[in-house]
Amino acid sequence: MPNFKAYLKTGKMMNFDYKNICLSLIILLTAYVGSSQEKELYKELYNSYEKFKEQSIEKRRFTQAKIQPLIQEFKQNNKFEVTKVGESIEGRPLQLISIGEGNVDIFLWSQMHGDESTATMAIFDILNFLDSEAYLEEKKAMLREVKLHFLPMLNPDGAERFQRRNLLGIDINRDALRLQSPESRTLKRVRDSLEADFGFNLHDQSTYYNAERTPKPATISYLAPAYNYEKSINEVRGAAMQVIVQMNTILQEYAPGQVGRYNDDFEPRAFGDNIQKWGTSTILIESGGYPNDPEKQEIRKLNYVSILAAVFSIANKDYKQIDISEYEDIPNNDRKLFDLKLTGLNYELLGENYVLDLGINQREIQDENLDYYYDAYISDRGDLSTFYAYKELEASAYKLVEGKVYPKTFKNIARLQEKDILKILKAGYAYVALKELPQEDFIEIPINLVAEGFNKPDSLQPNFFLEKDGKLEYAVINGFLVDLSAEKYEVKNALILD
């Protein structure tokens, strides 16, 4: 930018200099107006999201059968090209959905891990947006510059079982060199045939990641993968970093402090690292955790708006104005979250009182119908002062009292439900024995069911009570914290143990 004061002071402002100054001002003003307009567009996209959300998908466990009718609809729509580009090991089709006529090819693939479906949902929301009558001028301008290619489910066999690996037992994201599975070969072939300028590698990560040194979950994490061990930055990787900065800026409006940067150690077998190496500016998006969002519907929305923001930025080329150094300002991913953390709890062992923190997590156990229940475990104990949790309780005023087995055995669940279960809880019982135990592994009531003659494990389980001044004030049942003074309690499920 010219130094106005220096020019004026010397009195040597020539006509040529004046023109340069005016031109600089015009460029700055244009950039500012353009940036403001884009921010307003992204805000509108976020606020109008429900109009484009694919309502037929509401839970993250779904198979290809759920999305196949949607793909068929796009195949009948002349706005889109739908091409079968390969098959999975079990013969399920791998399909590419394309739209646009621009010279910049953007390739987005999701669910190469069969149990990572958040972005798959978002892809169909984006396709609905592109098919809608809304924002016609903006979309027309964007699609003149870019052509979008979506491969929404790369690992349908894994999705059929909601498992990470494919039917061969291969992690597709570690098969970029050997190409031992047909899904891997399809991904490589599509990337090469498109000679894609940009690639979006869409995943899910653990809900226990947090943005480094903060209690906030890493709801979305980004990465411009390295293409060598030195983590060099060339023009290809630099462009990915610039787009990521743009996406992060947008998400800070809606999930402030909840964006992380995924570890960029070079993995020579991984697709993201190699696609970057092969000349496609590659952006990894990892969907993590968000409070009270077990089906990741809010995170799906964040994927939707941030991916669209990235596409508009690529089409407008405004990402090129971004300082790459801002990429380093995004905090690293850390893994220091629990579902429940109790701090300073008094715990008696062998007649001695100890003070410790407890960190409890709730693993998901899946059944053959792709439904799931929670089975909690104590993840860590001791000094957890550098850890955080979705739910925390400062428990220094409380003593841990292990849950007891109710002295009366009930015939079946129906007879138990005739009783006041909360009253049983308030008396310090975490387990009730039944003569006729249900065949399931879990129960949607706030107390564990056990067989007659059940012996509690010797080790501390996440089924206990918190006592203060001789009164039980809280229960922890299967890792869920229950306020015994409240009228309502939230225990997603307790366990059935034989």
- Predicted pLDDT of residue 34: 52
Percentage of the chain modeled with pLDDT above 70: 93
Lowest pLDDT segment from 13-22, 134-143, 267-276, 330-339: 13-22
- Predicted pLDDT of residue 119: 98
Q: Are strands 448-451 and 337-349 parallel, antiparallel or unpaired?
A: unpaired
- The dihedral over CA atoms of 196, 197, 202, 206, expressed in degrees to the nearest 10, equals 130
Residue where the block lists tokens 């190496």: 277
Q: Quick: pLDDT tens for 120-131.
A: 999 999 999 999
- Predicted pLDDT of residue 3: 39
- Predicted pLDDT of residue 498: 87
Residue where the block lists tokens 């606020």: 47
DSSP string, 346-357: EEEETTEEEEEE
CA distances from 88 to 158, 172, 184, 188, 490 (A): 10, 11, 9, 14, 41
Q: Quick: pLDDT tens for 221-257.
A: 999 999 999 999 999 999 999 999 999 999 999 999 9
Cα separation, 305 vs 294, whole angstroms: 20
- Predicted pLDDT of residue 250: 96
- Predicted pLDDT of residue 38: 77
Q: Establish how many alpha carbons lie within 13 A of residue 224's alpha carbon, considering only the half-sphere containing its beta carbon.
A: 28
Cα separation, 201 vs 222, whole angstroms: 10
Q: Give me 222's structure tokens.
A: 């980004």
Band (pLDDT 50/70/90 cuts) for residue 11 is: very low
Of 486 and 343, the structure prediction assigns the larger pLDDT to 343
Cα separation, 22 vs 34, whole angstroms: 18
Lowest pLDDT segment from 31-45, 190-204, 409-423: 31-45
What is the residue type of 157?
Answer: D
Check whether 437 has a pLDDT greater than 60: yes
- Contacts for 384 with CB less than 8 Å, ≥ 6 apart: 338, 341, 343, 357, 358, 359
Check whether 9 has a pLDDT greater than 70: no
Q: Give me 63's structure tokens.
A: 């198979």
Check whether 1 has a pLDDT greater than 70: no
Check whether 27 has a pLDDT greater than 60: no
Sign for the CA dihedral angle at 379, 380, 381, 385 comes to negative
- The mean pLDDT value for 22-28 works out to 46
Q: Quick: pLDDT tens for 458-483.
A: 899 999 999 999 999 999 999 999 99
Task: Please tell me whether residue 281 adopts helix, strand or coil conformation.
Answer: strand
- The mean pLDDT value for 184-202 works out to 98
Of 368 and 22, the structure prediction assigns the larger pLDDT to 368
Sign for the CA dihedral angle at 287, 288, 289, 295 comes to positive
- Predicted pLDDT of residue 20: 57
The burial class, CB within 10 Å (0-12 / 13-18 / 19+), for 36 is exposed
Band (pLDDT 50/70/90 cuts) for residue 35 is: low
DSSP state of 217: B
DSSP string, 410-461: BSSHHHHTTS-HHHHHHTTEEEEEESS--SSSEESSSSEEEETT----SS--
To the nearest whole number, what is the mean pLDDT of the chain?
A: 93
Percentage of the chain modeled with pLDDT above 90: 90
- The mean pLDDT value for 11-37 works out to 49
Q: Are the beta carbons of 283 and 200 closer than 8 angstroms?
A: yes
Beta strands in 298-415 (DSSP E): 333-334, 337-349, 352-366, 372-382, 388-394, 399-402, 404-405
- Predicted pLDDT of residue 490: 85
Cα separation, 107 vs 459, whole angstroms: 50
- Predicted pLDDT of residue 39: 79
Q: Are the beta carbons of 274 and 176 closer than 8 angstroms?
A: yes
Check whether 61 has a pLDDT greater than 60: yes
- As a whole number of angstroms, the longest Cα–Cα distance in the chain is 100
- Predicted pLDDT of residue 17: 54
Model confidence, pTM: 0.91
Q: Residue 23's CB: how many other CB atoms inside 10 A?
A: 11
Task: Please tell me whether residue 358 adopts helix, strand or coil conformation.
Answer: strand
Check whether 12 has a pLDDT greater than 80: no
Of 37 and 175, the structure prediction assigns the larger pLDDT to 175
